[in-house]
Amino acid sequence: MNSAYDRLTARFARIATIGEANAMLGWDASAMMPSGGAAARGDQLAVLAGLAHGLLIAPEAGDELDWAESEGEPADPWRATNLRLMRHAHTRATALPPDLVEAQARANSACEKVWREARRTADFALVRQHLAEVVRLTRETAAALAPALGMGEYDALMDGYQRGIGVADVAPVFAKYEAFLRWALPQAEERQARDPAPERPVGPFPAAVQEALCRRLSERAGLDYRHARLDRSTHPFCGGTPTDVRITTRYDETDFAQSLLGVLHETGHALYERGLPAAHARQPVGEAAGMAAHESQSLIVEMQASRSDAFLSWLGPELHATFGGDPGPYAPANLGRLWRRVGRGFIRVDADEMTYPAHVILRFRLEQALIAGDLGVADLPGAWNDGFKALLGLTPPDDAQGCLQDIHWYDGAFGYFPSYTLGAMAAAQLMAAARRDVAELDAALGRGDFAPLLGWLRANVHGRGSLLGFNDLLRAATGKPLDPADFEAHLTARYLA
């Protein structure tokens, strides 16, 4: 390898390959591994993560970056962006002292284990001191990253999930949405109350039949099972690698919607991974453009396409043919009322698409206060309840339905939550652009055909990898950066028209 850039690509390919092995072991731990293997699996994952981190922070890596940059910016935009992303990854990694990284990992692991019991018993006091240690170390991490990256401390945490998006970008978007929700939610609830109550299909719905249906629908969406698997886990997820993607779900034999919609959501993630540019595999520029971008792809499949009137007109008869019984609950109009309902509730993962952003806005604000030191961990339950009441008019009856419900903070993931709502907004914006560009898109969905939508996403999102940042990706695909007006227009059309 004659050039520093070539040596870097080899180094990052090795790091990515270790990451792929880590990802497959992580999938196995959730989907296949017997419980007795947990301790050894933790060791295996830690060793692999350490090997990858060591390759990234090695002195030779810094020397190679210096030499490659001294050779001048590559003329090829893919190579130029790849080099910038390599430098960014190296800067983040070397900004953190190894002892801090290890201490954070240990604190996260200890807190997450105690959190499970605290949530089960709705006892925040049980985990309070553990969370205080996680927050303390997260603040140290943010303080170390911020000067290295030239940004604020909370921005540095957000940067780990969606590069180029910080508080100054997100806060006004969320404030605007909060104002929209204040008048739109009561109107949607009033309109919904005038509609006939939806009928729920009556089971049982055998898990094996659901599984076959989920696989068939994910294939129709475009997932190639020569490069994918569908398995079961307690919490649905998408993992694996771009050439060996793994999705999971869980089955409830009294309600097939949970598995079906969950698989369509994870299929959106899987299609993104499968569509990443193969020519840049195992390089930073060949990866997905961030977690908000990733969430946009799951939601454009699940929320935008699969719950559309057009697709439900095809899906209803398919569901009745699969499960039989009374055809009434499978009528497209009934499915629409059933799967597109708004309702105030305490649990984020159960929230509808109109109220879901309120859950994220609350977490975004509390995270900033915790990282800034303006909110003490002991005061978190009260701040949560006050904030939730202000946003949705409800007070959680206990902390299990309040500040204990999500694993993220107790596992050290601060800065991640904004990606969920940014992704939902981007999905609406991308779908509006796809409809403008592809005249037959809804007609195709009415035939159960995702090919026109997938082709558009391949060209405008998937195939671009990380060549563009979040807003530049949206600008290239839709003609403008993130614009929450498209999301509000979507919600207005679906719930208020």
Distance CA 77, CA 9 (A): 15
Residue recorded with tokens 């945490």:
157
- Quick count: other Cβ atoms within 10 Å of Cβ 182? 10
For residues 108 and 412, is the Cβ–Cβ distance under 8 A? yes
DSSP 165: -
The single residue of 64, 112, 133, 266 carrying the catalytic annotation is 266
Determine which helix (DSSP H) or strand (DSSP E) holds 232, and give its type and residue range: strand 228-232
Determine which helix (DSSP H) or strand (DSSP E) holds 200, and give its type and residue range: none
Determine which helix (DSSP H) or strand (DSSP E) holds 171, and give its type and residue range: helix 167-194
For residues 351 and 405, is the Cβ–Cβ distance under 8 A? no
Contacts of 74 (CB under 8 A, 6+ apart): 5, 80, 83
**Angle, alpha carbons 416-133-238 (nearest 5°):** 30
For residues 320 and 330, is the Cβ–Cβ distance under 8 A? yes
Distance CA 185, CA 207 (A): 35
* SS3 labels along 210-254: HHHHHHHHHHHHCCCCCCEEEEECCCCCEEEECCEEEEEECCECC
For residues 92 and 145, is the Cβ–Cβ distance under 8 A? yes
Contacts of 18 (CB under 8 A, 6+ apart): 48, 51, 52, 55
Query: 482 to each of 152, 172, 265, 485, how far by Cα in Å?
Result: 21, 12, 21, 9
Query: Which two structure tokens, joined as six digits, stand for 485?
Result: 């007006």
Distance CA 80, CA 96 (A): 25
Distance CA 269, CA 238 (A): 7
Query: Residue 397, preceding bond cis, omega within 30 degrees?
Result: no
Q: Which residues pair with 232 in a beta bridge?
A: 249
Residue type, 309: D
Residue recorded with tokens 């984020």:
348
Q: How many residues does the chain have?
A: 497
Beta pairing class for 244-249 and 238-241: antiparallel
| Residue 302 bears catalytic tag | no
Residue recorded with tokens 């007609």:
443
* Catalytic annotation, residues: 266
